[in-house]
């Protein structure tokens, strides 16, 4: 006798999945000098995903990232962050939700102490007293820098400064953490420490990088942006193993590196 499958119960309103962390729809943008940087980009990133944004120099990666928190706009298409449209009236909240960590941490750290740097954003948003202190402790604990709270940032190593730069963004409790070349200029130990931190965070990550092994290590999914359009979107290992795709978009693996040999989650 054939097995009988019970009908599924109807989904309740409480089971509605959360809005994606990021939805980019048809975004096209030309700079005032007439240079067209994006030609209709569509991208959806689910809450909690870690996605690498790959592509050659001049592909439009920075232009796309600057649309995510409203620094650039006025072109064609829409961007929403956790369901909130990136529009002028929402910019304060959007910039809290989308935290960008610059490639050079010295562009992000400017206060006399680590504690003051991490407190700067929440304080500017109106947080004070015990709540502000707790936010700073929380962010520094997440990146393993709590013991350095009273140190001047310029007395820290480059890797430590990068972790503090991440903390300044985490202190705002963002929806999306955008990292611009996070592994650049890091020694192997600092690179591993940062990878461990990023894996531990309960936040959506969009990582802009030329470091393809780091993308494979940290991001199950990658998107290739090339000449202002999404050229590929899929499992990172699959994209990196596609020699024709890689060659067509000026992406090269380090000499001797075989993505098939690396275990990934």
> Which residues 6+ apart lie within 8 Å of 152 measured at CB?
112, 113, 114
Nearest to 149 by CA among 124, 120, 181, 115: 115
Mind listing the pLDDT tens digit for each residue in 152-209? 999 999 999 999 999 999 999 999 999 999 999 999 999 999 999 999 999 999 999 9
Cα R_g (the chain), whole angstroms: 20
- Name the token pair of 97: 């939700």
Say how many C-beta atoms besides its own lie within 10 A of residue 57's C-beta.
8
Between 4 and 102, the more confident residue is 102
Delineate the domains of the chain, giving CATH numbers in brackets.
Answer: 19-252 (3.40.50.300)
Between 19 and 140, the more confident residue is 140
Could you please report the per-residue DSSP string of 119-188? HHHHHHTT--HHHHHHHHHHHHHHTT-GGGTTS-GGGS-HHHHHHHHHHHHHTT--SEEEEESTTTT--H
pLDDT-above-70 percentage for the chain: 93
The reported pTM is 0.90
| Residue 247 banded pLDDT, cuts 50, 70, 90 | very high
**b (16+ CB within 10 A) / e for 124-150:** eeebeeeebeebbeebbebbbbbebbe
What is the pLDDT averaged over residues 112-117?
98
- Name the token pair of 118: 């991490």
* Cα–Cα dist 175/173, whole Å: 7
CB 72 within 8 A of CB 63: yes
Mind listing the pLDDT tens digit for each residue in 126-146? 999 999 999 999 999 999 999
């Amino acid at each position: 006798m054939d097995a009988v499958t019970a009908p599924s119960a109807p989904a309740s309103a409480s089971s509605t999945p959360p809005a994606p962390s990021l939805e980019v729809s048809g975004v096209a943008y030309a700079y005032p000098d007439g240079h067209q940087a994006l030609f209709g980009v569509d991208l959806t990133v689910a809450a909690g995903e870690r996605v690498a944004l790959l592509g050659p120099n001049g592909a439009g990666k920075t232009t796309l990232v600057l649309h995510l928190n409203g620094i650039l706009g006025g072109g064609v298409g829409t961007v929403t962050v956790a369901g909130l449209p990136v529009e002028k009236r929402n910019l304060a909240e959007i910039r809290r939700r989308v935290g960008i960590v610059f490639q050079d941490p010295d562009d992000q750290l400017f206060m006399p102490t680590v504690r003051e740097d991490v407190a700067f954003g929440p304080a500017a948003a109106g947080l004070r007293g015990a709540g502000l202190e707790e936010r700073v402790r929380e962010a520094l604990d997440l990146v393993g820098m709590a013991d350095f709270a009273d140190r001047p940032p310029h007395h820290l190593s480059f890797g430590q400064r990068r972790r503090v730069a991440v903390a300044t963004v985490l202190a705002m409790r963002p929806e999306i953490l955008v990292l611009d070349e996070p592994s650049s200029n890091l020694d192997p130990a600092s690179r591993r420490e940062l990878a461990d931190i990023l894996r531990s965070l309960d936040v959506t990550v969009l990582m802009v990088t030329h470091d393809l092994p780091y993308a494979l290590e940290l991001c199950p999914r990658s998107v290739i942006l090339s000449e202002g359009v999404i050229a590929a979107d899929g499992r990172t290992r699959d994209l990196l193993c596609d020699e024709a795709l890689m060659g067509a978009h000026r992406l090269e693996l380090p000499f001797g590196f075989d993505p098939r040999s690396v275990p990934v989650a």
